[in-house]
Amino acid sequence: MHHLQPSINSMVMPTFYTSEQLTSEEQTAAIRVWNKITTNTVAQFIREKNTDDSFPFATCSQYFLSLFLSRLYDIHPHIVDIANKLSDEERENSIPALSAILNSLESHGSSSSHDLQWISQLELFARRYNAIGIKTIEYRILADCYLHALHRCCGEEFTPIAEIGWKKLLSRMLDVVIPIVTRFELENLEFMENRRGMRFSDRTVILSGDTEDQEEENDNENEAAH
């Protein structure tokens, strides 16, 4: 795994970032919390759903996403324009995407840089975020908001060991994602400067990385139309 230089790390990584290895106990605690969210078994969610008639969330995943986005909009309001380009379905797809990442970790027992399935899931995650124009420097904000939402969503079930596990998990994820995003940002400066344009579903060119071929194809289609 190629780590960024310490001076760059301090700028792009969240304050909780750590290079410490994830223990099996921490991993189990972190994944247990996530599984509670995806199976609607978080005690705090059940309690609020059963006692508050105006509680608007049918699933705990929706509750978690609402907490995440609310925190994100509070501390980084400029990202609202980007988020508004996503449909509800695209937002909710982030839950199974993260589950797939965790499942690949659980299957192999480590977040090693040699774990190809772990890396491939994170690369897909990074490409999706590239497609909506999330900048490298914004990942520290996203990570902080994820951690905040886990705290708020799970309450007392987000134990100290689960918190440590999640901090290490997010750190390992960023170790893989940040170099991918940084490279994309440097190679697509014009796109990143004009990232308020398309919806995610229109950006297959960005997902595939075939920007030049797609641009040439679009030019040919435009010429044919005229």
* Domain assignment present for 5: no
Q: ∠ CA(216), CA(222), CA(226), 5° rounding?
A: 145
Q: Per-residue pLDDT tens for 135-152? A: 888 899 999 999 999 999
Q: Which residue has the higher pLDDT, 80 or 106?
A: 80
Q: Which residue has the higher pLDDT, 120 or 43?
A: 43
Per the structure, how many domains does the chain have?
1
Report the CATH number at residue 137.
1.10.490.10
In the chain, the percentage of residues whose pLDDT exceeds 90 is: 43
Give the DSSP letter string of 30-62.
HHHHHHHHHTT--HHHHHHHHH-TT---SSHHH
* Domain assignment present for 187: yes
Q: Is pLDDT at 90 greater than 80 in this prediction?
A: no
Q: Which residue has the higher pLDDT, 52 or 226?
A: 52
* Domain assignment present for 216: yes
Length of the chain as a residue count: 226
* Domain assignment present for 11: no
* Structural domain for 40, as ranges: 23-225
Q: Which residue has the higher pLDDT, 198 or 167?
A: 167
Buried b (16+ CB within 10 A) or exposed e, 176-190: bbbbbbbebbeebee
* Domain assignment present for 15: no
Q: Is pLDDT at 85 greater than 90 in this prediction?
A: no
* Confidence at 98, pLDDT banded by 50, 70, 90: confident
Q: Per-residue pLDDT tens for 8-61? A: 556 789 999 999 999 999 999 999 999 999 999 999 999 999 999 999 999 999
Q: Give the C-alpha separation, 201 to 186, whole Å.
A: 23
Contacting residues for 58 by C-beta, under 8 A, at least 6 apart: none
User: What SS3 state is found at 83?
Assistant: helix
* Domain assignment present for 18: no
Q: Give the C-alpha separation, 90 to 10, whole Å.
A: 31
* Domain assignment present for 188: yes
The pTM of the full predicted model, rounded to 2 decimals, is 0.76
* Domain assignment present for 206: yes
Residue 10: per-residue pLDDT:
62
Residue 127: per-residue pLDDT:
87
